[in-house]
Copies of this chain bind each other. A is one copy, B any other.
């Protein structure tokens, strides 16, 4: 892992890094307490760090206000990483199936399962590199992004002690058993009127999560219209568990 740039953006320091071929970004609070190590929240996203940058920076700034460092890495096939033609094909097939209202289980499996298998070890490697830095420490949180990746990562990675899930993407039915095995505190955000999402799947998954503390926050505003107060609620969840 090595850094390729460093910038001050408001109250945070943004450093781009690479871990092997994978680009990533680390944001640390540049506050009075910046000399003691900060707990880390990994920021999930749907792919393409460049396109997602403004929203990731806003989330990083919100987290830094509570004393958290944040980091993210590019997804397999995302941004300027090597394209994954089979996943691209599956993504197109999913959009086509949704447009005609056809069955989607097979194509969701074909799209999501390989992405999960490849992404999760990459996030774990990034975590190894990040936690070796003196300015970062556990406990670690994971927030948002592709739900199936977040579920697998929360299941296999014990350093993640609290997770904020965004229930806004398709999860293969075969992953329900993994959902049942989760035990960490969960804060689940659902956009109730997200027309491109399977709301019943999200509710079924919330029911399946094995965690003793799990909270569902459902709001209006469509897929990208999460209200500001819902972001504040999620921030308080991480403060309670990682602060």
Instruction: Please report A residues at the B interface, Cβ cutoff 8 Å.
Output: 192, 203, 206-207, 212-220, 227, 229-230, 232-233, 236-237, 240
Contact = CB atoms under 8 A, between A and B. Distances in A.
B212 A220 contact: yes
A217 B215 contact: yes
B206 A218 contact: yes
Given A229-B240, A233-B233, A240-B229, A213 B220 contact: yes
The 7 residue pairs across chains A and B that have the minimum distance between CB atoms: A216-B218, A215-B219, A217-B217, A233-B233, A214-B220, A229-B240, A212-B220
Contacts of A229: 236-237, 240
Contacts of A236: 229, 232
Given A203-B203, A215-B218, 9 more contacts: A192-B214, A213-B227, A214-B219, A214-B220, A215-B217, A216-B216, A229-B236, A229-B237, A229-B240
A237 B232 CA distance: 12
A39 B240 CA distance: 30
Contacts of A240: 229
Nearest to A232: B236
Contacts of A214: 192, 219-220
A192 B218 contact: no
Nearest to A213: B220
A192 B216 contact: yes
A57 B124 CA distance: 48
Most B CB atoms within 10 A — which of A206, A214, A215, A216? A215
A190 to B, nearest CB: 8
